[in-house]
A and B are shown apart, each in its own frame.
Chain A
Amino acid sequence: MFEITRVSLENDMDLVLAHRQGMKLAEVAGLSVAGQTSFATAVSEVCRNIVKDPEDAVLILGIALGEDRQKRLTAIITDTRIHPGSEGWQYARRLVDTFTITSPRTATHIELATLLPQSFNYNIKQLERWSVLLNNDPSVSPYEEIKRKNRQLQEMTTQLKHSEQQYRTLTETLPLVILTLDVAGNVVYANNWLLEYTGETIESLNASKWANVIHPEDMESGWQDFANATTDRTPWKAERRLKDAATNEYRWHEAVMTPVIDDKDNLLLWNSFMTDVHARKEIEQALKDNKELTEIKEVLEEKNAELKQSNEALEQFAYVTSHDLQEPLRKISFYTDYLTRKFNQELPAEAKGLLQNMVGASDRMRQLIYGILTFSTINKKTGYEPVDVNAVIQEAIDDMELAIREKNALINIGAIPAIDGIRMQLLQLFENLISNSLKFISPDRRPEINITAETENNLVTIELADNGIGFDEKHLNKIFDLFQRLHSREKYAGTGIGLGICRKIMNIHNGDISARSNPGEGATFVLKFPIKQDLPA
């Protein structure tokens, strides 16, 4: 049956209503006035008996299509209790085409119907229109109005209950903390996730203002943001650390807050849901740390490149300068010599002496330039390779054989392990050191140089000890500086570059050079090398 309208049967007023709705439906369905009256009377006769003592009685009016394809104007009256039959029912039975009582033992179910003319057009849209017509018909009485409102209210309550139930089911199912706060920040609703996660109840949360849940560092800003939002009244997001009661760990949560505002623009509540974003926060932090490191590295690399560039420029400058300085200097040497030779007869002895000084000065300058040239060309352009240090020292001694023999010097070499290095530079290093010792020999004894080595893990310490004049250790930090000399040129010739070159070579080999001495007691130079360049010392 297609239901058009229904009337709950509670008292005599409802009887009037039942009659009237019966009349109206019969009318729109196209029955004659007699037919209308018959149907409406039959309906009200049945109802009259029911309203005497109803429990949950209701009349439903509608159109039904029978198995015989006949359309019927139908009324169904039901109640949840049994009603004994009456004279009225007998009367009613005569007024309609079918009258059936299909009441089970504990309830009442009466159906009565009047056949509609064959011409009646059964069409759902039309039936819906009738439903609207009968249900929204202007009320004829205040009672009818109240009755209708009551019915609407009941329907809404049922719907509300239903949707509330759905909401609750939904919030418990989603893996989210969902809660509602009032304007003062009190929790008015929270799903189980929040209570399970925090191990608190709504009451305890409100009493403590979440003090046991929100991280102490987030507490003040958290409530401050909440207070500010009360003024702004727009949706907002915040990240807070909340304590997991199960592990006692704080985990990052993102809270999304949405205001609930009524028609009069009053802020009523805050709806909020919180998601665990701890993993994301940790990744963000790691990325941030990584980014900072990368930035620092970039700055360092930039500085390093600049330094390298300026170093290279400096070396280039030193090379070019010394190279170009040689040119005019060679001319001075040459012309001085040329002058002396060519005009030998004409020159007075004093002039020859002065020219000789010029030659000496030019020679010293040439040595100086040669020293700077050497210093500036020593750099780490090539890779390291295993170098037999014993062989290198022997080669240095061979190169300096003349000077060694001239000074009658004795050189002893102990066993020295091979190291990773640049052979030409190591040769230069030992030549410079031996040459230095040969220069500062003591006039009282036969010059002697002892070269020994000691190995410890990846570190070899080579000591070169002479028995020369030595030096005061207060000058120690100076002797490896460029152009630093402890003696006058008249006593000991030299440019002050040799030991500077030694230090540069040691730096290139990731090593260290130092010395110890007492004046008059010889000097010992201490060289520390990594044996393998790619191993830690």
Chain B
Amino acid sequence: MSNIRILLADDDIEDRMIISDAFREIGVEEDAVHYVENGEEVMSWLNKAGDPLTFPSLIVLDLNMPKMSGRKTLEELKSDIRYKGIKVIIFSTSINEREKAECMALGALSYITKPLKYSESLETADHFNKQSLA
């Protein structure tokens, strides 16, 4: 657990495969990224981890997820004293200006559109990696 820098929540298995492929391509170690399928799993993962030293430095959230949406998860994280220090990046299919503004207001670090091209997936993975190390 201690090596995990990035916790990524996305219910779409293909998107998880695309981004993990990109991480591998740019040389990010396998155990630095952990994948879950929705916001509930993000919260329970953090609860189970307990120790702030084992927390990831970056949480990436898809917006449209079952059980607990990315927006709701962002709200919960930012209103909890234990988790509010963790960086959160929203990772969504489409740019919706209103949605983006709302997420930024809630304390998201940035709002990234999912890649349309192979090269974009590499850029995105690189951005996540750099943010988790910064």
Contact = CB atoms under 8 A, between A and B. Distances in A.
Interface of A: 323, 326-327, 330-331, 333-334, 337-338, 341-342, 373
Contacts of A326: 93-94
18 contacts: A323-B93, A323-B94, A326-B94, A327-B93, A331-B14, A333-B116, A333-B117, A334-B115, A334-B116, A334-B118, A334-B121, A337-B116, A337-B118, A337-B119, A338-B121, A341-B118, A342-B118, A373-B94
A330 B119 contact: no
A334 B18 contact: yes
Pick the 8 closest A-B CB pairs, nearest first: A338-B118, A337-B117, A341-B118, A333-B116, A337-B118, A326-B93, A326-B94, A327-B93
Interface in B1-59: 12, 14, 18
B116 A330 contact: yes
A327 B117 CA distance: 14
Nearest to B98: A377
Contacts of B117: 333-334, 337
B interface bracket (residues with beta carbon within 8 Å of A): 10 to 19
B3 to A, nearest CB: 28
A333 B113 CA distance: 14
Contacts of A341: 118-119
Nearest to A424: B97
A341 B117 CA distance: 10
Interface of B: 12, 14, 18, 93-94, 114-119, 121
Nearest to A331: B14
A337 B14 CA distance: 15
Contacts of B14: 331
A8 B118 CA distance: 141
Nearest to B116: A333
Nearest to B25: A342
Contacts of A327: 12, 93
B132 to A, nearest CB: 23
B14 to A, nearest CB: 6
B26 to A, nearest CB: 14
Interface hub of B114, B116, B117, B121 (most chain A Cβ within 10 A): B116
Contact of B114 (A323, A330, A373): A330
B41 to A, nearest CB: 21
Contacts of A342: 118
Interface hub of B12, B18, B118, B119 (most chain A Cβ within 10 A): B118
Interface hub of A326, A327, A342 (most chain B Cβ within 10 A): A327
A502 to B, nearest CB: 20
Contacts of B12: 327
Nearest to B14: A331
B66 to A, nearest CB: 14
A330 B95 CA distance: 13
Given A327-B12, A333-B116, A337-B116, 18 more contacts: A323-B93, A326-B93, A326-B94, A327-B93, A330-B93, A330-B114, A330-B116, A331-B14, A334-B116, A334-B117, A334-B118, A337-B117, A337-B118, A337-B119, A338-B118, A338-B121, A342-B118, A373-B94
B17 to A, nearest CB: 11
A334 B116 CA distance: 5
